[in-house]
C-alpha cells in the first residue's frame, strides 16, 4: 500500500484497517461514540494550526480531520446506512441548493441578499430534516423551534454565541453594549452571593449566567468569544512559560517557588 493524492487510496486504507481478522485490532473495535472525541479534537487541531500560521501543520491536521470523516463513513457503510460517496453527494447537493445565485436563477447580488436567501433555504432544510427524523422515530431533543438549528454538541461558548445570534434575529436582544455591562455586574453580585451560600449547584448556575453574559458583550462588540479566550489561553501559556524558564535559569523550581516570586515573574512577563 503506497500513499496517493487520490481520495480512493484513503478509502482503501480505512477498509483494510476495518477488515475482520486482517485489520487493525484498535480500529476494529471503534464505533461512532468512541471516535467522536477524536473528531472534535482534530477540528481543534486544525484551528490551532491556523492560529499559529503553520501551513505544514494545517495540511497535516486537515488530513487527520478528513480521516475522521472517512472513519465515520466506513462504520456507517458497514452498518448498511450510507457510504463516503453519499456524504460527498449530500454536501455537494447542499452547496448547490444554498447557492442558487451561482448555480441557479436567483438574482441575489449582494451579501445581505445572499445571507437572507441562505437563511430561508436553511429553514426549509430544517423542516425537511425534522420530517426525516419523525419518520425514523428519532426524538427531537431541542431541535424544534427557533433555536432548534443550534447543535447541542457545540463547545459551550460557541453554543452560547449561536443561541444569542438566533434570538437576536427575532429582536430578543440588547440594543447596545452598556446594558450588558450592567447585566454582567448584576451577575457578579449574584455569583458573590452564591459563593457565600456554599451551594455548589447555585455557584455553578450563577457562574454559567456570568459567562453567558460575557459572551453576549463580546458578540455586541464584534469579538468572537471562543477565539478571544483561546488568545488569552495562549497569552497565559506564554507568561507561565516565562515564569518556568526564569526559575530554571536561577536554579529554582515551580514546586519550590513562592506565589509572590511567581507573581513577580508574571508581571515581568507582562511588561515584556
Q: Does residue 57 carry a pLDDT above 60?
A: yes
Lowest mean pLDDT among 11-15, 103-107, 260-264: 103-107
What confidence score (pLDDT) does residue 106 get? 84
For domain 7-98, give the CATH number.
1.10.287.1080
Percent of the chain with pLDDT over 70: 98
What confidence score (pLDDT) does residue 272 get? 87
Q: Does residue 138 carry a pLDDT above 90?
A: no
Which residues of the chain form CATH 1.10.287.1080?
A: 7-98, 156-271
What confidence score (pLDDT) does residue 140 get? 58
- Residue 248, burial from CB neighbour count under 10 angstroms (0-12, 13-18, 19+): exposed
| Mean pLDDT to the nearest integer, 197-209 | 95
Classify domain 156-271 at the CATH class level.
mainly alpha
Distance, CA of 243 to CA of 265 (rounded, Å): 5
CB of 220 within 8 A of CB of 167? no
What confidence score (pLDDT) does residue 136 get? 77
What are phi and psi for residue 146, nearest 5 degrees?
Answer: -65, -30
Q: Is the dihedral of CA 143, 148, 150, 155 positive or negative?
A: negative
CA distances from 249 to 15, 148, 253 (A): 52, 55, 9
What confidence score (pLDDT) does residue 110 get? 86
What confidence score (pLDDT) does residue 129 get? 81
**pLDDT (tens digit, 9 = 90+) per residue, 2-33?**
888 999 999 999 999 999 999 999 999 999 99
CB of 216 within 8 A of CB of 181? no
Across 30-132, the runs of DSSP E, i.e. the strands, are none
What confidence score (pLDDT) does residue 188 get? 97
User: Which position has the grid cell 484498535?
Assistant: 26
* Residues composing the chain: 272
What confidence score (pLDDT) does residue 143 get? 59
Please report which confidence band the pLDDT of residue 115 belongs to, taking 50, 70 and 90 as the band edges. Answer: confident
What confidence score (pLDDT) does residue 141 get? 57
Please report which confidence band the pLDDT of residue 190 belongs to, taking 50, 70 and 90 as the band edges. Answer: very high
Q: Does residue 198 carry a pLDDT above 90?
A: yes
**pLDDT (tens digit, 9 = 90+) per residue, 145-173?**
778 778 777 788 889 999 999 999 889 99
Please provide the average confidence, as pLDDT, over all residues in the chain: 91
- Cell output for 171: 429582536
| Mean pLDDT to the nearest integer, 171-177 | 89
Q: Is the dihedral of CA 211, 214, 220, 223 positive or negative?
A: negative
Amino acid at each position: 500500500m503506497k500513499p496517493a493524492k487520490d481520495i480512493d487510496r484513503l478509502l482503501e486504507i480505512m477498509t483494510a484497517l476495518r477488515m475482520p481478522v486482517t485489520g487493525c485490532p484498535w480500529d476494529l473495535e471503534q464505533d461512532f461514540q468512541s471516535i467522536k472525541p477524536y473528531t472534535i479534537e482534530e477540528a481543534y487541531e486544525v484551528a490551532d494550526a491556523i492560529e499559529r500560521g503553520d501551513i505544514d501543520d494545517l495540511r497535516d491536521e486537515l488530513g487527520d480531520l478528513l480521516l475522521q470523516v472517512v472513519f465515520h463513513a466506513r462504520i456507517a457503510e458497514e452498518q448498511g446506512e450510507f457510504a463516503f460517496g453519499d456524504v460527498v453527494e449530500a454536501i455537494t447537493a447542499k452547496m448547490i441548493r444554498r447557492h442558487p445565485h451561482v448555480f441557479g436563477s436567483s438574482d441575489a447580488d449582494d451579501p445581505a441578499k445572499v445571507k437572507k436567501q441562505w437563511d430561508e433555504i436553511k429553514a426549509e432544510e430544517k423542516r425537511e430534516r425534522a420530517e426525516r427524523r419523525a419518520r425514523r422515530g428519532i426524538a427531537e431533543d431541542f431541535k424544534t423551534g427557533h433555536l432548534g438549528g443550534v447543535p447541542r454538541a457545540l463547545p459551550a461558548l460557541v453554543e452560547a454565541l449561536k443561541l444569542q445570534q438566533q434570538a437576536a434575529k427575532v429582536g430578543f436582544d440588547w440594543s447596545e453594549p452598556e446594558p450588558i455591562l450592567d447585566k454582567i455586574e448584576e451577575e457578579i453580585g449574584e455569583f458573590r452571593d452564591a459563593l457565600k451560600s456554599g451551594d455548589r449547584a447555585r455557584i455553578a448556575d450563577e457562574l454559567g449566567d456570568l459567562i453567558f453574559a460575557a459572551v453576549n458583550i463580546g458578540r455586541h462588540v464584534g469579538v468572537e468569544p471562543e477565539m478571544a479566550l483561546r488568545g488569552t489561553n495562549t497569552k497565559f501559556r506564554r507568561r507561565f512559560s516565562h515564569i518556568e524558564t526564569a526559575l530554571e535559569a536561577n536554579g529554582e523550581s515551580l514546586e519550590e517557588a513562592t506565589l509572590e516570586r511567581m507573581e513577580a515573574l508574571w508581571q515581568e512577563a507582562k511588561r515584556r
